[in-house]
Copies of this chain bind each other. A is one copy, B any other.
């Protein structure tokens, strides 16, 4: 039994064997072992946060991670930036016939390790197999449940006020450029490693230090520029960022230049945008810098008084332009 066959998705003996030998073995939670149609969880004290994401990244293994690690981080991060403590994750696998079981094991193991790191439990799962040529190795859906209990306030766009500061937790563009380089086999010597990481320790520390966080987001698909444009839309306020203040490595900058990408639109998988009252910004920045995942944090801009609801960027020479929401293909299958 070295590769996945259609029988593994038919709900019979082979499906059960796969569930026991791989999913239950590595995920190893009480809820999965019970093998009921639903996992039964204890009552949660507080509002509940729920998020879902499907992962179709290509390639499935890359520097700094794999589709499994990414699927846990992505969902943990969507809960974390909502101000929730991530608790439970469900996983749905769509596997292409012929996929190597050893690769599946590696990915499931990687999910288990990341889940442990992020202190979340994998409580329910599902496996489907599609014929060769009807998928691409492996697609994963992760849905996460968290609880909002500790902080006593809800993060939302309408909290955002003129004068608020925008903090970014580190250098941009690593995940997207890592994937492109590995997928397109550009033959470019590169040490760019995906920044893929669970952000919940960072968001917890931030939310503990102040009551003045307006909103948080992780700038994934569409990058920093699209995420800030979304925040402009939901807050109905203009924002301005400063190119010189946006952390980026020389390697990512050069690689983007070479390929004609704008790093502002390139995906990140372990970065955080945090909009905070200007009175608390230094405190928050200090807390963020003291966490390994936020050590390169920087104030990159602010919410400005301007009724045009635009995102502006000021370049090094002091001229300002509008950064629009991206259109077109960008980078497909980046997550």
Contacts and interface: CB of A to CB of B under 8 A. Distances in A.
- Copy tally for this chain in the complex stands at 2
Given A10-B331, A38-B51, 16 more contacts: A6-B332, A7-B329, A10-B221, A10-B326, A11-B226, A11-B330, A15-B222, A37-B217, A38-B78, A39-B50, A39-B51, A40-B82, A40-B148, A41-B48, A43-B45, A55-B128
Interface string A209-220: 000000001101
A101 interface: no
Contact of A54 (B47, B92, B144, B218): B92
B91 A52 contact: yes
A167 interface: no
A140 to B, nearest CB: 9
A124 B142 CA distance: 12
Given A50-B124, A128-B54, A222 B12 contact: yes
Interface residues of A, number: 85
Interface stretch (A106-114, A130-138, A239-247, A301-309): A130-138
A330 B9 CA distance: 9
Interface of A: 5-7, 9-16, 34-56, 77-79, 81-82, 84, 88, 90-94, 123-126, 128-131, 133-136, 139, 141, 143-146, 148, 154, 156, 217-218, 220-222, 226, 230, 234, 267, 325-333
A262 to B, nearest CB: 12
A129 B332 contact: yes
A145 to B, nearest CB: 7
A11 B66 CA distance: 20
A322 to B, nearest CB: 14
Nearest to A9: B332
Contact of A47 (B43, B55, B133): B43
